[in-house]
Amino acid sequence: MFEFELVAQSNLARAGVLHTPHGPLLTPVFAPVGTQATVKAMTPIQLKDLGASLVLANTYHLYLRPGDTLVRELGGLHAFMQWPGPLLTDSGGFQVFSLSDTRKIDDDGVTFKSHIDGSMHRFTPERAIEIQNNLGADIIMAFDECPPPLERDYVLQSLKRTHAWAERCQSVHRRADQALFGIVQGGIFADLRTESAQFLRALDLPGYAIGGLAVGESKEQMHATIEVTNAILPEAKPRYLMGVGSPEDLVNGVRLGVDMFDCVLPTRLARNAAAFTRRGRLNMKNAQYARDPGPVEAGCTCYCCANFTRAYVRHLIVAEEILAAVLLTLHNLHVLLSLMREMRAAILEGTFENYAQAFLQSYQPVESKR
Amino acid sequence: MFEFELVAQSNLARAGVLHTPHGPLLTPVFAPVGTQATVKAMTPIQLKDLGASLVLANTYHLYLRPGDTLVRELGGLHAFMQWPGPLLTDSGGFQVFSLSDTRKIDDDGVTFKSHIDGSMHRFTPERAIEIQNNLGADIIMAFDECPPPLERDYVLQSLKRTHAWAERCQSVHRRADQALFGIVQGGIFADLRTESAQFLRALDLPGYAIGGLAVGESKEQMHATIEVTNAILPEAKPRYLMGVGSPEDLVNGVRLGVDMFDCVLPTRLARNAAAFTRRGRLNMKNAQYARDPGPVEAGCTCYCCANFTRAYVRHLIVAEEILAAVLLTLHNLHVLLSLMREMRAAILEGTFENYAQAFLQSYQPVESKR
């Protein structure tokens, strides 16, 4: 259970298989986010047809609504949301810090106000594991603090807490059918990331996440941090870059040895009329698409592009139809999931570096357009 | 083209086949409504999987947005919305009267304000047909006025106009691959309905609708009006009851000899958390379903009921997830489309009267609960 086989490598890029109680995960893998036990605008059948394998759900959200004990009562998260494949829950830490207006952190845990009804709640490492045990995902995450990445003093102080919490999580986690991953923190500071990766490595957990990135630092700082961290993390364990990302970040992450990713970007952008293409992002609401008889992306084989015109998709957006979100979500997830499959194939064929360079050369990130 | 075969009868109830350029329609048939060239929350694949055959779209909405000439440019409504089966467009008359704040009717047509941007527009019978010719549905409707059903003086005056408009529609309609249906009006007045049905019958159109019902009259008045009208309409032409309806109205309509129906009810209710069942309507947002491990309707074979619990569906509703609308739309359409298939089978087997009585006995309409 949770054995991780490394199948091929190409410089730092890795192709592997992570075995879970709900089937094998072929890595590198991108996990669509199902915040509230549903990937927004998708049915499980549509997700399966897209070739999604791993889905992430949010502990913070499900704890507040509908409640983790209700999910357990109904057979756990797999049964509740009818996702037959592997599931991952985060620890709730990130949401406590980003969504709650009022929160008070101490060495034992965090007291916070619900963003839904203002009621008060408390998460501790022990509670975060208990909730995730109730939810029953295949992969669960240690409770951590995600500090402002550039504030060294704060990051240093917070890191001690995050490490102590990781140990407490490990000591109370009991379900053998769930893998507890640790989360490396340390902001953008190489020495702190090294220290954190070494500390967590010593706990001998079945997998490790790189947390606290994609929260305001530069791309260069992000890449350097991934490099430093992966140099310490054990080769034989999966590496998970949390909250990433965009097409270019996925390619760069794989290039630096990351195996797993999750991000709301493809689904959130879809609900805001933006489409990924292999050359960059399009705003499908633009008037220039009003009479466009072509597909959202020429050559794309997804259900949206194989059937519908840009003119129709734009009409749905302007008319505020649910189908707009459905079609663009299908398309955006297809782009990212295909990208992951192509990267894996390139690693297996030994052509990854060429693939990555070609992709990054033709892809225009949003930042470069500003 | 547009031949209507009567296959079986059971008292007044009829089972038939209406041949269209996009395939045969087995009647009695219920058409889901795709107001803006999409049945809300459904992909065409999901509709097809539900066994939907006929889909209705609204001329008023598509004329305003994205525009009928754009739809024609892109290959017509079938290509635009990727619905391979038969399509029907209404004439726009009903929406002009119900959605536009400001409208001025004269004997030549109606001038109205767009509900979207306040711009002024004018529909005449000739224009309504031109727009519907551009949209390209298999079945198109004569431009009519839908008057307040209980105001005899107004209904009488309006009826003359509606009849003159029907003649004008017939004289300008040119596309042989589109069937122009007339619309019987006359409010709740038997003599006016008789006169209207006789007038339109004389035009020898390929099908006839009963308009101006389900807009405020009592159920008894609705049933009496259908009966009077169907007694005059030709046996060999399909009869279409517009804007109906609820499960009990569909059963009563078929019982009185109606062949076609359309209504936003199943899709609109779904987006408002209401589920049809064979016994009545449920409000799935109710707290009583919060921990309910059963399906929305026991025994139902739709995707929603075959896979998900009431607790999950309620969670999606409370969490305002798109999947709530998708699952309840799938369920509600499945209930109505199954009901139509069962009624047709019962007519063919000669057991319709028993079927209808059993259904109406166990079904509790919303009105009776108030």
Burial class from Cβ neighbours inside 10 Å (0-12, 13-18, 19+) for residue B306 reads exposed
pLDDT at B369 over 70: no
Q: Are B244 and B213 in contact (CB under 8 A)?
A: yes
Q: What is the mean pLDDT of residues B272-297?
A: 97
B38, B308, B311 member nearest A70 (Cβ): B311
Tell me the nearest-neighbour CA distance from A337 into chain B, angstroms: 21
B65 to chain A, any CB pair closer than 8 A? The answer is yes
pLDDT at res. B101: 74
Cross-chain residue pair B40–A82, CB shorter than 8 Å: no
State yes or no: is A90 an active-site residue: yes
pLDDT at res. A370: 41
Q: Are A25 and A16 in contact (CB under 8 A)?
A: no
First to last CA, chain A: 47
A70 to chain B, any CB pair closer than 8 A? The answer is yes
The pLDDT tens digits for B131-152 are 999 999 999 999 999 999 999 9
The pLDDT tens digits for B162-187 are 999 999 999 999 999 999 999 999 99
pLDDT band at B370 (very low <50, low <70, confident <90, very high): very low
CA distance B138 to A10: 57
Cross-chain residue pair A40–B312, CB shorter than 8 Å: no
pLDDT at res. B102: 81
**Which residues, 6+ apart, have CB-to-CB distance to A88 below 8 Å?**
A31, A54, A55, A56, A57, A137, A138, A139, A140, A141, A262
Chain B partners within 8 Å of A322 (Cβ): 40-41, 322, 325-326
- Mean pLDDT score of chain B, rounded to an integer? 96
Q: Which of B275, B145, B116, B268 is nearest to B215 (CA)?
A: B145
ipTM over 0.90? The verdict is yes
- Cis before A266? omega within 30: no
pLDDT at res. B94: 87
Burial class from Cβ neighbours inside 10 Å (0-12, 13-18, 19+) for residue B204 reads exposed
Chain B partners within 8 Å of A290 (Cβ): 66, 70
CA distance A186 to A159: 6
pLDDT mean by block of 10 residues, chain A; 370 residues: 96 98 98 98 98 98 98 98 98 84 90 93 97 98 94 96 98 97 98 98 98 93 98 98 96 98 98 96 98 98 98 98 98 98 98 98 76
Q: Are B168 and B125 in contact (CB under 8 A)?
A: yes
For chain B, give the percent of residues with pLDDT over 90: 94
CA A4 to chain centre: 19
User: Which tokens sit at B239?
Assistant: 């009869």
Q: Which of B11, B27, B30 is nearest to B351 (CA)?
A: B11
Residue appearing with tokens 């050559």: A299
Distant-in-sequence contacts of B171-174, Cβ < 8 A, 24+ apart: B172/B125, B172/B126, B172/B129, B172/B130, B173/B129, B173/B133, B173/B140, B174/B133
Residue appearing with tokens 């991108």: A30
A76 to chain B, any CB pair closer than 8 A? The answer is no
**Phi–psi pair at B269, nearest 5 degrees:** -60, -40
B76 to chain A, any CB pair closer than 8 A? The answer is no
Q: How many CB pairs below 8 Å do chains A and B form together?
A: 102
Q: What is the mean pLDDT of residues B60-65?
A: 97
Chain B partners within 8 Å of A321 (Cβ): 36, 38, 40
- Cis before A24? omega within 30: no
**Which residues, 6+ apart, have CB-to-CB distance to A95 below 8 Å?**
A58, A59, A60, A61
Cross-chain residue pair A316–B65, CB shorter than 8 Å: no
Helix (H, G, I), strand (E, B) or coil at B1: coil
- Outline where A65-124 has alpha helix (H): 68-73, 77-81, 93-99
Residue appearing with tokens 């005449």: B124
Which residue, among B43, B50, B68, B309, would best test binding to A if mutated, counting the most A CBs under 10 Å from its CB? B43
pLDDT at B44 over 90: yes
pLDDT at res. A368: 58
**Which residues, 6+ apart, have CB-to-CB distance to B327 below 8 Å?**
A43, B296, B303, B304, B308, B313, B316
Whole-model pTM: value is 0.97
B309, B323, B326 member nearest A74 (Cβ): B309
CA A134 to chain centre: 21
State yes or no: is B90 an active-site residue: yes
- State the catalytic residue, choosing from A90, A138, A144, A259: A90
User: Which tokens sit at B85?
Assistant: 């089966």
pLDDT band at B367 (very low <50, low <70, confident <90, very high): low
The pLDDT tens digits for B69-124 are 999 999 999 999 999 999 999 999 888 888 877 889 999 999 999 999 999 999 99
B293 to chain A, any CB pair closer than 8 A? The answer is yes
pLDDT at res. B368: 58
